[in-house]
Amino acid sequence: MTANGWLQILVFSVVILAVTKPVGIYVLRVYDGTMRWLSPVERVIYRWSGIDPEDDQHWTRYAAALLLFSAVSMLVTYLSLRLQGSLPLNPFHRAAVVDRQAFETAASFTTNTNWQSYIGETTMSYLSQMMQLAFHNFVSAATGLAAAVALARGIARRSGGRIGNFWVDLVRGTLYLLLPMSLVLAVLLAQQGVIQNFAPYVTAHTLEGARQVLAMGPVASQEAIKQLGTNGGGFFNANAAHPFENPTPWTNFLSMSAIFVIPAGVTYTFGRMVKNQKHGWALWTTMFVLFAGGVTATYWAEARGNPIHIAHGVTTVGNMEGKEVRFGIANSALHAVVTTDASCGAVNAMHDSFTPLGGLVPLVNIQLGELIFGGVGSGLYGMIVMAILTVFIAGLMVGRTPEYLGKKIQSREVQMAMLYVLSFPAVVLIFTAASAILPAGRAGLNNAGPHGLSEMLYAFTSVTGNNGSAFAGLTGTTYYYNTLLGLGTLFGRFAMIVPMLALAGFLSEGRTVPESAGTFPVTTPLFVVLLIGVILIVGALTFFPALSLGPVVEHLLMSLGKVF
């Protein structure tokens, strides 16, 4: 570890803190309707789509609209990928995407996961990249934001289960927030050298006389929303390690900042919506403490290097395997933690090549629910669910009905919160266990022993957590993995978002009660400590047995000189 590395991490942290309030205020103005500079466009969209913007939907209608939109857009993407060979903007005549991979890709991008079991530059046409994948980068992020805002409304008001209008929230999030921010970021990235064109691929001849094909395409525009929408799907197979996607230290810094900027800002938005700004900052502080712990652990593990080298007296600068020399250990560790704290699968280093403890942290980040800033929208509502569980536990301690921001937390609210919390590990552990037993699952492994288990565990954790990064030693281009990983993305998105919307509806039905002597304060350092404890305990109790058989055992064996 170096002073320069810590300085870069510190600068990044200060920038995220500085943008939280202004971004939060802007997001609030987007969703409360005071942002009107594109109102003529907004009205046209409502008129053509038959949307009544004044319709305040019950949570069941809100959830149904969200599910219907996701299902139809996923079907359109699947059909487009299957017909890719017959569609325009395909200068290299890319063939139709095979059925199993088209299903997995359509499910993955619909759910804001962007898991890719294909090589982008040799599989997708320009039309598929722009009209389908980039489209989902916008609307899947806007869907997550809409759900988070709906939960905030449910807490903030008494409306008999009515939590807003999904179609209006979807349009406003895309039109006023994601599109303009992506436009600005795309221009900045293009200025730094990220390519943006529709040119055919370029054939180059190296100094050694070899022939090399350089992929072209509209990269800057997709890179911008990939990061701002916490999507992560790369135009190129090397993702953010590719020099056409991430050419300079500035693009690397801008990309990492873009991943966190909206998730950090919406904590301030939430505080304003529920009229308790201190609580919004308490949630932000909780997220930041967990983020700082993850960065510290990962940076230490990677800077320390391989104990086998140390034992044999080999002098190293740390574990540089799988890392871009342009970014080094500090920025690789920071990027890995940022992208797995958020539901963003963008990577500028190979997580599979991290040391066991270095790779453990990104894996645990996802397993905690990706609520450490988290995905756009999903990080906030995940953290709110954990806050509700925290005050429930605190209420049990003092023998009173727990309250959260003036709303009593009763049995049905706790049931929805627990359904939300348990759905994720159930899918991850069942699918991982099945893959460890079935021949089709084991056939995809390129590594034996605990590292092979880590690869499977990471894959199903990533897709179910809607992250999309990978321990890339796993061969995922089979019917078995394409199918299960695609199903994992769907379960991880919708089996969690529907109980959360039900929770929003239930809370909106409850009357607001004034604070009393028995109300557990949710703005104090004690609350932050208790919330962190609940998050870690829930994650540890759920996943520690599996982790102990994977990266923990691998670390212990590596210390004894054995690798996999």
Which regions of 314-406 does DSSP assign to beta strands (E)?
Answer: 403-404
Alpha helices in 192-236 (DSSP H): 219-228
pLDDT tops 90 at residue 361:
yes
Q: What is the pLDDT of residue 73?
A: 96
Q: What is the pLDDT of residue 229?
A: 92
**DSSP-assigned states of every residue in 261-324:** HHHHHHHHHHHHHTT-HHHHHHHHHHHHHHHHHHHHHHHHHHHH--HHHHHTT---SS--TTB-
Q: Which whole number is the average pLDDT over 272-280?
A: 94
460-494 as b/e, with b when 16 or more CB fall inside 10 Å?
bbbbbbbbbbbbbbbebebebbbebbbbbbbbbbb
- Distance separating alpha carbons of residues 4 and 9, to the nearest angstrom: 9
Q: What is the pLDDT of residue 103?
A: 96
Q: pLDDT category, 343, cuts 50, 70, 90?
A: confident
Q: pLDDT category, 445, cuts 50, 70, 90?
A: confident
pLDDT tops 90 at residue 366:
yes
State the Rg of the chain over Cα.
23
Q: Which whole number is the average pLDDT over 250-260?
A: 95
Is the Cβ–Cβ distance between 81 and 120 less than 8 Å? no
Q: What is the pLDDT of residue 316?
A: 66
Q: What is the pLDDT of residue 78?
A: 96
Which tokens belong to 180?
């303009």
Cα dihedral 356→357→360→362 (10° resolution): -110
Q: pLDDT digits over 538-557, tens only?
A: 887 899 999 999 999 998 88
Who has greater pLDDT, 497 or 129? 497
pLDDT tops 90 at residue 154:
yes
Q: What is the pLDDT of residue 536?
A: 93
* 313-317, 452-456, 468-472, 474-478 — most confident range: 452-456
Of 303-307, 361-365, 369-373, least confident by mean pLDDT is: 303-307
Q: pLDDT category, 117, cuts 50, 70, 90?
A: confident
Q: Look at residues 113, 129, 140 and name the one whose alpha carbon lies nearest to residue 345.
A: 113
Residues with Cβ within 8 Å of 244's Cβ and at least 6 positions away in sequence, in order, are 194, 195, 214, 215, 219, 235, 236
Count the neighbouring beta carbons within 10 Å of the beta carbon of residue 45. 19
| Mean pLDDT (the chain, rounded) | 91
Q: Tokens 């709906």, residue?
A: 150
Q: pLDDT category, 313, cuts 50, 70, 90?
A: low
DSSP 157: -
Q: pLDDT digits over 474-490, tens only?
A: 888 899 999 999 999 99
Cα dihedral 44→494→392→377 (10° resolution): -40
pLDDT tops 70 at residue 295:
yes
Q: What is the pLDDT of residue 306?
A: 80
Q: pLDDT category, 340, cuts 50, 70, 90?
A: very high
Residues with Cβ within 8 Å of 549's Cβ and at least 6 positions away in sequence, in order, are 450, 453
Query: Residues of the chain with pLDDT > 90: what percent?
Result: 68
Q: pLDDT digits over 192-208, tens only?
A: 999 999 888 888 888 88
Who has greater pLDDT, 280 or 510? 280
Q: What is the pLDDT of residue 381?
A: 94
Q: What is the pLDDT of residue 410?
A: 87
Query: Residues of the chain with pLDDT > 70: what percent?
Result: 99
